[in-house]
Structure 1
Amino acid sequence: MKHRLLERLLLSVRVQAVEPVAPRLRRVTLAGPDLSGLSWVAGQHVRLQVADGPTGLDWVLGTLRTYTVWNLDAQGLDLVVFDHGDGPGARWARTVRPGEEVMLLKPQGTFTIRPAAYHLFAGEETAQASFGPMLAALPEDAPVFVRLEVDTPAEHLDLPRRADVGWSYRQGRPAASSETLVQAVRDLDLPAEPGIAYLAGEARTIQMIRRHLVEERSWPRRNVLTKPYWAPGRKGLD
């Protein structure tokens, strides 16, 4: 029964390659016939089965974690996975090997590019996996502002060069409630009219940047899209 339900709900693929792209980031490439004809929009994510689950719906789907699609083409589906903590997602990221079978749901989500006079991206390490494909999907002449905070320069991902990318470095300081990233956005010389903002990463920092844009710059709330990936002490976001 469980096997039949899984076939209806989840796609079956195999891990083709696992490659480190930064000290705490790995690119995982998935391939298989179930990916044939699959469509996606830059910024969408997949829900991946990283462990079995014992009860309720988890008994059918197992323990799922969300990962943004870095790329999807005829060669396979690429994910960039952040290795942190000791939850089921982090354990899967550290131990997954080529040849292993993986079950996942089709790409979904609304954290995607919207028409705008200009685009603002802000986040930390975990946001890069979303921002990379979203930046690549923008028109060449689209005005773009990006502010990213990582621990060290070694944690940069290769982002499209046309964006105005400003980096800040924590050097061991906590990523949660990052006043430094908020200040980096506050210091931006943005056009007078609102654009569209894409905020991803640690939940408290996202809330602080959103508050700045709405209360200090008078942006409409609908112009600020948020994607909280994690927060200290919260389960299910690793």
Structure 2
Amino acid sequence: MRSAFSTKEEKNMKSRLVDRLLLPVHVDTVEQLGPRLRRVILTGSALAGVTWHPGQHVRLQVAPAPPALDWIVGTLRTYSIWDFDDQAMELIVFDHGEGPGAGWARTARPGDELMLLKPQGNLAVQSEARYHLFAGDETAQVSYGPMLRALPDDAQVFARVEVDSPAERIDLTPKQRQAARPGWNVDWTYRQGRSAASSQSLVEAVRSLPLPDEPGIAYLAGEARTIQLIRRHLVEERNWPRRHVRTKPFWTPGRKGLD
């Protein structure tokens, strides 16, 4: 039988570890942007001095977890960061499926308190690239927006993002930026109820792009099987070196933990 002392020591140890790993924040703003899109702004003094580069994500403690699963940090879910300025972190959450993450996204309210890990991830634009190619689904939009904003004014960009309907589209190219950046070729395709997994329509949208003969840098994010198909097209049909294709699988049917 465990003594009260050991239980107290265990709690103190966990508290010290959590304080080192997780940052306390609270929900400042919640706004519905579309049928399955919510804008959530997290604020807190613990965010002061935290660094972030466009394309990174943050992991939120959305619920406790049984000790056997995760004794320290609880149930974490990953969300790409749309913007981050000093003590305000803006997320655009795509609500899909069931589970703790979906439950948090649907019920988050201003004033709610939660914990998060510092921004992480290596998805980032390569400024020295001859041109940039972005392709992905709904789950990739939030990463791509900040990455596109980070590119220099003279960057050449090709992008195809597939969502189910126009209501689930995030404007990645505000009019004032698009007018100043004539080298952008950015558009959306719509599945209209078809599965996002192994999306041939997104592959065809990329295949039809008038890319220059020489390879640029590709950023492929979203459903894992679709990413594989697009990478195969670039490597086998357009003869791109594999090192020029950066991939970030966020999800695939029947599997967890791809973030």
Please report the TM-score for the alignment, with normalisation by the length of structure 1.
Answer: 0.96
Structure 2 residue aligned with 1:77? 89
1:133 has 2:146 as partner: yes
Structure 1 residue aligned with 2:163? 150
> Hey, what's the Cα distance between the residues in 1 that align with 2:65 and 2:19?
17
Structure 2 residue aligned with 1:124? 137
1:27 has 2:39 as partner: yes
Matches within 5 A, 1:1-238: 1=12, 2-56=14-68, 58-74=70-86, 76-114=88-126, 115-160=128-173, 161=178, 162=181, 163-236=184-257
> Hey, what's the Cα distance between the residues in 2 that align with 1:90 and 1:82?
9
> Hey, what's the Cα distance between the residues in 2 that align with 1:191 and 1:56?
52
Q: CA deviation at 1:49?
A: 0.8
- More relative contact order, 1 or 2 (CA 8 Å, 6+ apart): 1
Quick check: which has more Rg, 1 or 2?
2
Deviations, residues 28-52 of structure 1 (Å, cap 9, x unaligned): 1000100111111000111111111
* Contact in 1 for aligned 2:46/2:87 (Cα 8 Å): no
> Hey, what's the Cα distance between the residues in 1 that align with 2:111 and 2:258?
26
- Structure 2 stretches of 5 or more lacking a match? 1-11
Structure 1 residue aligned with 2:5? none
Kindly, what percent of the aligned residue pairs are identical?
68
> Hey, what's the Cα distance between the residues in 2 that align with 1:87 and 1:206?
24
> Hey, what's the Cα distance between the residues in 2 that align with 1:14 and 1:43?
22
Tell me the matched-pair count.
238
> Hey, what's the Cα distance between the residues in 1 that align with 2:187 and 2:61?
35
Q: CA deviation at 1:235?
A: 2.4
Q: CA deviation at 1:57?
A: 6.4
Runs of 4+ with >4 A deviation: none
Deviations, residues 178-225 of structure 1 (Å, cap 9, x unaligned): 000000000111011110000111111011001111111111111111
Counterpart residue identity of residue 100, structure 1: D
Please report the TM-score for the alignment, with normalisation by the length of structure 2.
Answer: 0.89
Counterpart residue identity of residue 157, structure 2: V
Structure 1 residue aligned with 2:9? none
> Hey, what's the Cα distance between the residues in 1 that align with 2:133 and 2:166?
21
RMSD of Structure 2 on Structure 1 (CA): 1.4
- Structure 1 stretches of 5 or more lacking a match? none
* Contact in 2 for aligned 1:52/1:59 (Cα 8 Å): no
> Hey, what's the Cα distance between the residues in 1 that align with 2:230 and 2:240?
12
* Contact in 1 for aligned 2:45/2:87 (Cα 8 Å): no
Q: CA deviation at 1:177?
A: 0.6
Q: CA deviation at 1:21?
A: 1.5
> Hey, what's the Cα distance between the residues in 2 that align with 1:57 and 1:234?
17
* Contact in 2 for aligned 1:29/1:78 (Cα 8 Å): yes
Q: CA deviation at 1:231?
A: 0.6
